[in-house]
Protein backbone atom coordinates (compact mmCIF):
# COMPACT_ATOMS: atom_id res chain seq x y z
CA UNK A 1 0.00 0.00 0.00
CA UNK A 2 1.38 3.39 -1.05
CA UNK A 3 0.09 6.91 -0.49
CA UNK A 4 0.60 9.86 -2.83
CA UNK A 5 -0.21 13.48 -2.05
CA UNK A 6 -1.63 14.63 -5.38
CA UNK A 7 -1.94 18.19 -4.07
CA UNK A 8 -2.60 19.78 -0.69
CA UNK A 9 -2.79 23.49 0.02
CA UNK A 10 -5.11 25.11 2.55
CA UNK A 11 -8.07 26.88 0.97
CA UNK A 12 -7.19 25.73 -2.55
CA UNK A 13 -7.34 21.96 -2.90
CA UNK A 14 -6.47 18.71 -1.19
CA UNK A 15 -6.42 15.26 -2.79
CA UNK A 16 -4.48 12.13 -1.89
CA UNK A 17 -4.29 8.72 -3.52
CA UNK A 18 -3.95 5.29 -1.93
CA UNK A 19 -2.70 2.49 -4.18
CA UNK A 20 -3.33 -1.11 -3.14
CA UNK A 21 -1.87 -3.62 -5.58
CA UNK A 22 -3.54 -2.59 -8.88
CA UNK A 23 -6.39 -0.58 -7.35
CA UNK A 24 -6.53 3.13 -6.57
CA UNK A 25 -8.55 4.99 -3.95
CA UNK A 26 -8.86 8.78 -3.87
CA UNK A 27 -9.13 10.62 -0.56
CA UNK A 28 -10.77 14.02 -1.10
CA UNK A 29 -11.28 15.55 -4.53
CA UNK A 30 -10.26 19.19 -4.46
CA UNK A 31 -10.09 21.29 -7.59
CA UNK A 32 -7.60 19.83 -10.06
CA UNK A 33 -7.96 16.19 -9.02
CA UNK A 34 -8.62 15.14 -12.61
CA UNK A 35 -5.54 17.04 -13.82
CA UNK A 36 -3.37 15.55 -11.08
CA UNK A 37 -4.44 12.00 -11.96
CA UNK A 38 -3.72 12.60 -15.65
CA UNK A 39 -0.30 13.99 -14.77
CA UNK A 40 0.53 10.72 -13.03
CA UNK A 41 -0.90 8.65 -15.90
CA UNK A 42 -3.36 6.83 -13.64
CA UNK A 43 -5.64 4.23 -15.22
CA UNK A 44 -9.07 5.68 -14.40
CA UNK A 45 -10.67 2.27 -14.70
CA UNK A 46 -8.63 1.12 -11.70
CA UNK A 47 -10.00 3.84 -9.39
CA UNK A 48 -12.27 1.76 -7.19
CA UNK A 49 -13.33 4.20 -4.48
CA UNK A 50 -13.51 7.85 -3.43
CA UNK A 51 -13.35 8.75 0.27
CA UNK A 52 -14.40 12.27 1.26
CA UNK A 53 -13.43 13.67 4.66
CA UNK A 54 -15.92 16.57 4.62
CA UNK A 55 -17.84 18.84 2.28
CA UNK A 56 -15.77 22.03 2.07
CA UNK A 57 -14.98 23.24 -1.44
CA UNK A 58 -11.22 22.71 -1.26
CA UNK A 59 -11.86 19.00 -0.66
CA UNK A 60 -14.84 18.53 -2.99
CA UNK A 61 -14.60 20.85 -6.01
CA UNK A 62 -13.11 18.20 -8.31
CA UNK A 63 -15.73 15.50 -7.72
CA UNK A 64 -18.07 16.53 -10.54
CA UNK A 65 -15.20 16.69 -13.03
CA UNK A 66 -14.01 13.24 -12.03
CA UNK A 67 -17.48 11.76 -12.48
CA UNK A 68 -17.77 13.58 -15.79
CA UNK A 69 -14.54 12.03 -17.01
CA UNK A 70 -15.75 8.57 -16.02
CA UNK A 71 -18.77 9.25 -18.26
CA UNK A 72 -16.65 10.43 -21.20
CA UNK A 73 -14.42 7.34 -21.13
CA UNK A 74 -17.53 5.14 -20.82
CA UNK A 75 -16.45 3.61 -17.57
CA UNK A 76 -18.28 0.34 -16.93
CA UNK A 77 -17.34 -0.70 -13.41
CA UNK A 78 -19.12 0.88 -10.42
CA UNK A 79 -17.55 3.66 -8.38
CA UNK A 80 -18.02 3.64 -4.62
CA UNK A 81 -18.15 7.02 -2.88
CA UNK A 82 -17.87 7.28 0.90
CA UNK A 83 -18.67 10.50 2.75
CA UNK A 84 -19.64 11.60 6.27
CA UNK A 85 -23.26 11.03 7.21
CA UNK A 86 -25.10 14.32 6.66
CA UNK A 87 -22.57 15.78 4.20
CA UNK A 88 -25.02 17.68 1.99
CA UNK A 89 -22.35 18.89 -0.44
CA UNK A 90 -21.47 15.32 -1.46
CA UNK A 91 -25.11 14.36 -1.76
CA UNK A 92 -25.93 17.38 -3.92
CA UNK A 93 -22.95 17.06 -6.27
CA UNK A 94 -23.69 13.40 -6.91
CA UNK A 95 -27.42 14.17 -7.32
CA UNK A 96 -26.66 16.99 -9.78
CA UNK A 97 -24.49 14.70 -11.89
CA UNK A 98 -27.11 11.95 -11.94
CA UNK A 99 -29.86 14.43 -12.84
CA UNK A 100 -27.78 16.03 -15.60
CA UNK A 101 -27.10 12.82 -17.54
CA UNK A 102 -29.05 9.69 -18.33
CA UNK A 103 -26.39 8.21 -20.58
CA UNK A 104 -23.51 7.34 -18.24
CA UNK A 105 -22.59 3.68 -18.15
CA UNK A 106 -21.32 3.19 -14.60
CA UNK A 107 -23.13 2.82 -11.30
CA UNK A 108 -22.50 5.28 -8.47
CA UNK A 109 -22.77 3.56 -5.11
CA UNK A 110 -22.81 5.95 -2.14
CA UNK A 111 -22.11 5.15 1.50
CA UNK A 112 -22.67 7.52 4.42
CA UNK A 113 -20.14 6.82 7.17
CA UNK A 114 -19.52 7.97 10.73
CA UNK A 115 -17.00 7.42 13.48
CA UNK A 116 -16.79 3.77 14.48
CA UNK A 117 -17.76 2.41 11.07
CA UNK A 118 -15.53 0.01 9.15
CA UNK A 119 -15.35 -0.71 5.44
CA UNK A 120 -13.90 -3.82 3.81
CA UNK A 121 -12.81 -3.76 0.15
CA UNK A 122 -11.14 -7.03 -0.80
CA UNK A 123 -8.00 -7.12 1.38
CA UNK A 124 -8.24 -3.44 2.31
CA UNK A 125 -9.81 -2.46 5.62
CA UNK A 126 -10.84 1.14 6.28
CA UNK A 127 -11.72 2.43 9.75
CA UNK A 128 -13.60 5.70 10.17
CA UNK A 129 -12.97 8.19 12.99
CA UNK A 130 -15.04 11.24 13.86
CA UNK A 131 -13.19 14.55 13.51
CA UNK A 132 -14.21 18.04 14.69
CA UNK A 133 -14.29 20.72 11.99
CA UNK A 134 -16.32 23.92 11.74
CA UNK A 135 -17.23 26.02 8.74
CA UNK A 136 -15.44 29.36 8.60
CA UNK A 137 -15.19 32.42 6.37
CA UNK A 138 -12.96 35.47 6.30
CA UNK A 139 -10.05 35.44 8.70
CA UNK A 140 -11.01 32.29 10.62
CA UNK A 141 -14.52 33.53 11.46
CA UNK A 142 -16.03 30.34 12.82
CA UNK A 143 -19.65 29.65 11.84
CA UNK A 144 -21.05 26.23 12.72
CA UNK A 145 -19.90 22.60 13.02
CA UNK A 146 -19.77 20.54 9.82
CA UNK A 147 -19.58 16.77 9.67
CA UNK A 148 -16.04 15.50 9.14
CA UNK A 149 -14.23 12.18 9.41
CA UNK A 150 -10.73 10.79 9.17
CA UNK A 151 -9.82 7.46 7.56
CA UNK A 152 -7.36 4.74 8.56
CA UNK A 153 -6.42 2.40 5.72
CA UNK A 154 -5.07 -1.04 6.68
CA UNK A 155 -3.54 -3.51 4.25
CA UNK A 156 -1.21 -6.43 4.92
CA UNK A 157 -0.12 -5.04 8.28
CA UNK A 158 0.52 -1.49 7.09
CA UNK A 159 -1.68 1.32 8.45
CA UNK A 160 -2.08 4.81 6.97
CA UNK A 161 -4.11 7.52 8.73
CA UNK A 162 -5.51 10.62 6.98
CA UNK A 163 -7.10 13.28 9.16
CA UNK A 164 -8.70 15.58 6.63
CA UNK A 165 -9.36 18.98 8.24
CA UNK A 166 -9.82 18.87 12.00
CA UNK A 167 -9.46 20.66 15.26
CA UNK A 168 -8.22 18.91 18.38
CA UNK A 169 -10.49 16.03 19.38
CA UNK A 170 -10.29 12.54 20.85
CA UNK A 171 -11.04 10.95 17.48
CA UNK A 172 -7.86 12.47 16.03
CA UNK A 173 -5.65 10.82 18.64
CA UNK A 174 -7.38 7.48 18.10
CA UNK A 175 -6.97 7.84 14.34
CA UNK A 176 -3.25 8.55 14.49
CA UNK A 177 -2.15 6.30 17.36
CA UNK A 178 0.15 3.51 16.16
CA UNK A 179 -0.24 4.24 12.42
CA UNK A 180 2.79 3.56 10.24
CA UNK A 181 2.29 6.99 8.69
CA UNK A 182 -0.23 9.72 9.49
CA UNK A 183 -1.14 12.61 7.19
CA UNK A 184 -2.23 15.41 9.52
CA UNK A 185 -3.90 18.80 9.01
CA UNK A 186 -1.19 21.42 9.64
CA UNK A 187 -2.93 24.59 8.47
CA UNK A 188 -2.36 27.25 11.10
CA UNK A 189 0.65 29.50 11.47
CA UNK A 190 1.53 29.97 15.13
CA UNK A 191 0.39 33.62 15.14
CA UNK A 192 -3.11 32.46 14.14
CA UNK A 193 -3.51 30.01 17.00
CA UNK A 194 -6.18 30.49 19.63
CA UNK A 195 -7.77 27.78 21.75
CA UNK A 196 -11.07 28.21 19.91
CA UNK A 197 -9.55 27.89 16.44
CA UNK A 198 -7.27 25.02 17.45
CA UNK A 199 -10.12 23.05 18.98
CA UNK A 200 -12.72 23.67 16.29
CA UNK A 201 -11.13 24.52 12.96
CA UNK A 202 -7.56 23.41 12.19
CA UNK A 203 -4.33 22.28 13.77
CA UNK A 204 -1.17 24.34 13.80
CA UNK A 205 2.03 22.89 12.40
CA UNK A 206 3.37 22.67 15.96
CA UNK A 207 0.27 20.85 17.21
CA UNK A 208 0.30 18.50 14.18
CA UNK A 209 3.90 17.59 15.01
CA UNK A 210 2.87 16.89 18.59
CA UNK A 211 -0.04 14.68 17.49
CA UNK A 212 2.19 13.05 14.89
CA UNK A 213 4.30 11.54 17.66
CA UNK A 214 1.47 9.07 18.27
CA UNK A 215 2.28 7.57 14.85
CA UNK A 216 5.52 5.98 13.69
CA UNK A 217 5.84 8.75 11.10
CA UNK A 218 3.76 11.79 10.25
CA UNK A 219 3.49 14.02 7.20
CA UNK A 220 1.92 17.50 7.36
CA UNK A 221 -0.80 18.35 4.83
CA UNK A 222 -3.08 21.34 4.16
CA UNK A 223 -0.27 23.84 4.60
CA UNK A 224 -0.52 27.53 3.75
CA UNK A 225 1.63 29.81 1.61
CA UNK A 226 4.49 28.57 -0.53
CA UNK A 227 5.23 25.42 1.48
CA UNK A 228 4.88 22.34 -0.71
CA UNK A 229 3.89 18.84 0.37
For residue range 60-92, list pLDDT tens digits in order. Answer: 999 999 999 999 999 999 999 999 999 999 999
pLDDT digits (tens, 9 = 90+) for 184-193: 999 999 998 9
**pLDDT in the model for residue 137:** 86
d(CA 223, CA 186): 6
143 confidence band (pLDDT: 50, 70, 90): confident
pLDDT tens digits, 13-39: 999 999 999 999 999 999 999 999 999
| pLDDT for 229 | 54
Show the DSSP H helices in the chain as ranges.
33-39, 57-60, 63-72, 88-100, 170-176, 195-200, 205-212
**Does the pLDDT value for residue 93 go beyond 90?**
yes
Q: For 74, left (φ over 0), alpha (ψ -120 to 50), or beta?
A: left
Altogether, the residues listed in the chain come to a count of 229
- Under CATH, which number does the domain 2-221 receive? 3.60.15.10
Model confidence at 136, pLDDT cuts 50, 70, 90, reads confident
Pick the range with the lowest mean pLDDT from 43-47, 106-110, 197-201: 197-201
Report whether 223 contacts 205 (CB < 8 A).
yes
The partner residues of 106 in beta bridges, in order of sequence, read: none
Residue 48 pLDDT: 97
91 to 84, 97, 143, 159, 165: CA distances (angstroms): 10, 10, 21, 29, 19
Amino acid sequence: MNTTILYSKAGIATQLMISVEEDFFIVDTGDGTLRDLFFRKIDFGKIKGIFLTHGHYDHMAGLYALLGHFRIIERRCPINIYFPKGCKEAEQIIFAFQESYDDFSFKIQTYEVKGGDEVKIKDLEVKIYQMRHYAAVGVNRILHPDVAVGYRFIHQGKEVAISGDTGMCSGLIELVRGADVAYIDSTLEEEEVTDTILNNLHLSQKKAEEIGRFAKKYIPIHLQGDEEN
